[in-house]
Amino acid sequence: MEDLTGRIALVTGADRGIGRAVALALARVGLDVAVGFRERAGEADVVRRAIVELGRRSMAVQADVSVASEVERAVGAVASALGAVEVLVNNAGMTRPLPIPEITEAVWDEALAVNLKSQFLMIQAVLPSMRERRWGRIINLSSVAAQLGGVVGPHYAAAKAGILGLTHSYAALLAKEGITVNAIAPALIETEMITSGDPQPPLTSATQRICPWAGVNLEALCKTFERTCTKRAGSTSTTHGTDGTTTVSSIFAASMAARCASTAL
């Protein structure tokens, strides 16, 4: 795996769940990590201190990543304290499962703003320094709901599907500049966002019928993030199964695959 020691990473939504696990995993392989959060300052600081205890630099940075001005402020704060962001993990998101009749226009707009628009804003904010250095790694968190529909609702599935298109386009446009863009699409993982704080809720049989890959191993998912930092551009890693098995499928047409193949990693 490529040596990432000393690189600067920003993980959004890193105060809990997948984001927290990924931030710690990246610190363990040598990255300095900015812990992005929106409201949970105390929890973000716990993650920050854990990263420092691992011997890496860290900071907690607050932002609503669906708001452009807050994204710009947060990225600037990280650049001032740690250095320009070189590895971006777009993890922040929301679920809000609802019956179809209750999915209003406001719910739809919120789902796309928090899950999809936020990733666009974050990428746009970190790109100038990555392009200047001709090196960058961007990992976008999608979901198997992008292809299977999932259990949350069409508002969530549409946002997560949009992330795959976003990833595809940026990967094609940036690969020759030394910047790779990839997506990870996990199945259902028992984190607080899914369980609403219940520490040990069982996965229901109904959920498993609709989403038979429910119960992804979080440690295996973190390994997928580490490996994705060194992948060529334009892949989606789909994690599924209780053993955390990972498959990778290209989202490039043949011409785009050839274009990416010329990028040295």
Q: Which residues are part of the catalytic machinery?
A: 156
Contacts of 92 (CB under 8 A, 6+ apart): 12, 13, 19, 36, 38, 65, 114, 118
The neighbouring-strand residues paired with 137 are 87, 180
Closest of 177, 88, 179 to residue 139, by C-alpha: 88
Distance, CA of 253 to CA of 161 (rounded, Å): 17
Task: Give the DSSP H or E segment for 247.
Answer: strand 245-250
Q: Is 34 exposed, middle or buried (0-12, 13-18, 19+ CB in 10 A)?
A: buried
Task: Give the dihedral of Cα atoms 239, 244, 248, 251; nearest 10 deg.
Answer: 0
Contacts of 48 (CB under 8 A, 6+ apart): 35, 58, 59, 60
Helix then strand then coil, % of the chain, to nearest 5:
50, 15, 35
Task: Give the DSSP H or E segment for 245.
Answer: strand 245-250
Report which DSSP code applies to 144: T
Q: Are 177 and 260 in contact (CB under 8 A)?
A: no
